[in-house]
Amino acid sequence: MALLVAGAARGQEEPKAEATRAAPVEPVRAAESIVVTASRTEQPAAEALPSLVVLSASDLDRTAAPTLDDALRLVPGFNLFRRTGSRVANPTSQGVSLRGLGPSGASRAVVLADGFSLNDPFGGWIYWGLVPRESIEKVEILRGGASDLYGSAALGGVIQVLTRPVGARPDFSVEASLGNEGTAEGSLTAGGRTGAWGGRFSAGGLTTDGYVLVDEAQRGAVDTRAKARYASADLTVDRTLPGGRVFLRGRLFGESRENGTPLQANRTHVNQVIVGADHDGGERGQVSLRIHASAQVFNQSFSAVAADRASESLTRRQRVPAQDAGLSAQWSRRWSARHTLVAGVLGREVRGASDEVAFASGAATATVGAGGRERSSSVFVEDLQHLHPRVQVGLAVRFDHWSRSRALSVTTPLGRPEPPSVTGFADHDESSFNPRATLLVNATSRLDLSLAGYRSFRGPTLNELYRSFRVGDTLTLANPDLRAERLVGGELGARWRGPWATLSGTAFWTETRDPVANVTLSSNSRLITRERQNLGRAQARGVELDAGARFGGAWRVRGGYAFTDGFVARFPPLPDLEGNVLPQLPRHQASLQLRYEGSRLGAGAAVRVVGGQYEDDRNELRLDPFAVFDLSVGWRIGRSAEVFLAAENLLGERYAVGLTPIATVGPPLLVRVGVRLRFGRESRP
């Protein structure tokens, strides 16, 4: 789906109106549509690369999915580790990939909320429910390596969730819905200001009885519904000062899940706090300072299921505590209308461990603890210049240094008079130098051409280094010797801006050295054993196409297509893998969305097509292509209320989302009925 803001691309903004009422469209300058993710500072959308995509709040309203990750699946090239959304999937499978890097449990794209990373500090996966849906103003997706600005995890790009700011005018909005499969969800946000003080409170939650994950032809008595429930809360208090502001922000998140059998479950609790200050020094530039800290606990249990799926036995219980703290400072100055400079420094420390109890035949046999500490520091500089009214050049560079230390594993037998077995892991440190160069040329009043080249990296997470896990009959081992992934890439883009439509396309190429992959060590009818390894070199090349149009005043259509050819280019330890397609990566993805916004009626229809992909590194377990159709219809009541009906997978398509090697399937038809109430603010753009 072409989520690049159509108004920005053709010189118009989205219509604005009170509450949910539509209003006539009035032309404005393209420069008035602002994005921040591409350069860490405000920038006209028309001056960003064609690879930048924007999902507006109205786009979210007209998608049938209640969760952000399912809404983002309409963006060409967006992939999660497995095809299952966050409503029923284990959170450790919610790592994001862009640009064909091969999805894994750890994200190869950084996900931010107002500049603060949502990537789990221990494992790199994403808790998509951490940001309440109703508080979201828009989402910006920058496809392409961005470690020059965002460091580790921005290997393939950046996804930034921007929430509603605290305005001078009080506002309140809420959304709630009920659906089949025992599903209920809701979110709210309220904010306002009195004098120099302002605040915003947002909260959200979802509960679902889910569905049985295992394909009907293979399921047995042990297979149960994958149930889930989560809740989040976010409170921001700020005070304006002469030339700036200071603020305090806190987040709470908790979830619990039943993962498809009686003994497999997980729970998570996350606490975060952010303190920040912003100051506009006029000619001296703008300065921002952020300090953050978080603490969380992740608990999970694993089991071995009998071949006939009639019973299961507990194999592991894990408790994973992690702490994260860091600070960042950024300075930017607009020297003139044609020249902007941005610079910053960051520091971070993450501590985490996996504390486990191992079981055999239902009895605890040993405790196993493994973990360590990671520290990182970085400095970056970016220079944006207009060499000519039609030519913009961007140069950026970032230096990162990180280390892991105090890592060890302790195994203590239970019920036997044996001493603990202690294994210490050597300290390790690495550095990365990541430059980026971009060129944007306004070839004509309607045609933009772009060129970019970059380097990026991703350091392995503590989870990949020290925590093993089991899904179905597949055991994946940790590897304390992993090195950082390093990528070199380039892209060539074009964007055409017509009176009522926009077309954009980007061709890209990347090569990743030492990508972390789950390499199969052995396979039999009872157990597949894999280990995380640095997989030599991988290459990806492809094309991303986006298109959007508005017609008849109330109609909009957007579509997108991504072709991605990602494969193992070199792996001397296992040359048989060379040439294989990267696992969890579809070669073809396409989407199309049609929206209607009338004075009372609002509707959205979307179709999403995903090509075939492989579950494993050997390309033996293939997941077939599929297509799903979604529909959302809303009816406005007065100026502030709307009732809506949302249906996902309207045709009831049944498709495989994983092979472990037991086939797990995607969701059935999901229908929700709900209401939205919005007071004291303009409609969401």
Residue 443 in tokens: 């070839």
Q: For residue 54, give the amino acid letter.
A: V
How does pLDDT run across 198-213, given as a tens digit for each residue? 999 999 999 999 999 9
Of the pLDDT bands very low, low, confident and very high (cuts 50, 70, 90), residue 417 is confident
**For residue 633, what are the domain limits?**
6-679
Alpha carbon separation from 29 to 129, 476, 495, 558, 604 (Å, rounded)? 35, 53, 17, 21, 27
- 72-114 per-position pLDDT tens digit: 998 988 988 878 888 988 888 888 889 888 878 789 999 999 9
Q: How many domains does the chain have?
A: 1
- Give the pLDDT score at 681: 62
Sign of the alpha-carbon torsion through 56, 58, 63, 66: positive
| Contact criterion met (CB below 8 Å) for 408 and 370 | yes
Q: Give CA separation, 224 vs 89, 209, 212, 407, 472, in Å.
A: 14, 10, 5, 38, 14
Closest CA to 25 of 556, 554, 660: 554
Task: Tell me the whole-structure pTM to 2 decimals.
Answer: 0.91
Return the pLDDT at 4: 32
Cα distances (Å, whole numbers) of residue 600 to 37, 173, 427, 596, 603: 34, 18, 63, 10, 10
| pLDDT, tens digit, 9 for 90 and up, residues 239-262 | 999 999 999 999 999 999 999 999
- Whether 684 maps to a domain, the answer reads no
Residue 43's pLDDT is 87
Tell me whether residue 191 is in a domain: yes
Predicted local distance difference test score (pLDDT) of residue 598: 93
> Does any domain span residue 419?
yes
Averaged pLDDT, 294-308: 93
* 23 pLDDT higher than 70: no
Q: How far apart are CA 203 and CA 575, in angstroms?
A: 51
- Between CA 30 and CA 8 the distance in angstroms is 5
The predicted-structure confidence for 636-664, as pLDDT tens digits, reads as follows: 999 899 999 999 999 999 999 988 888 99
Q: State which amino acid sits at residue 110.
A: V
Q: Is the pLDDT of residue 384 over 90?
A: yes
- Is residue 548 situated within a structural domain? yes
Is 154 in contact with 144 (CB distance < 8 Å)?
Answer: no
SS3 content of the chain, % helix, strand, coil (to 5): 5, 60, 35
DSSP secondary structure code for residue 404 in this structure: E
Classify 625 as helix, strand or coil: coil
Distance from C-alpha of 544 to C-alpha of 563, rounded to nearest angstrom: 7
pLDDT of residue 415: 83
Is residue 516 one of the residues assigned to a domain?
Answer: yes
Q: Among 272-276, 358-362, 420-424, which range has the highest average pLDDT?
A: 272-276
pLDDT-derived band at 148 (thresholds 50, 70, 90) equals very high
Domain CATH number, residue 220: 2.40.170.20
Which pLDDT band holds residue 325 (cuts at 50, 70, 90)?
A: very high
Residue 34 CB neighbour total at 10 angstroms:
12
- The predicted model gives 498-511 an average pLDDT of 95
Q: How confident is the model at residue 135 (pLDDT cuts 50, 70, 90)?
A: very high
Residues in the chain: 685
CB 550 within 8 A of CB 500: yes
Residue 685 inside a domain? The answer is: no
Distance CA 103, CA 96 (A): 6
Question: Who contacts 127 (Cβ-Cβ below 8 Å, separation ≥6)?
Answer: 86, 91, 94, 118, 120, 230, 253, 255, 268, 270
Residue 1 resides in a domain? no
654 part of a folded domain: yes
Nearest CA to 159 out of 223, 72, 67 is that of 72
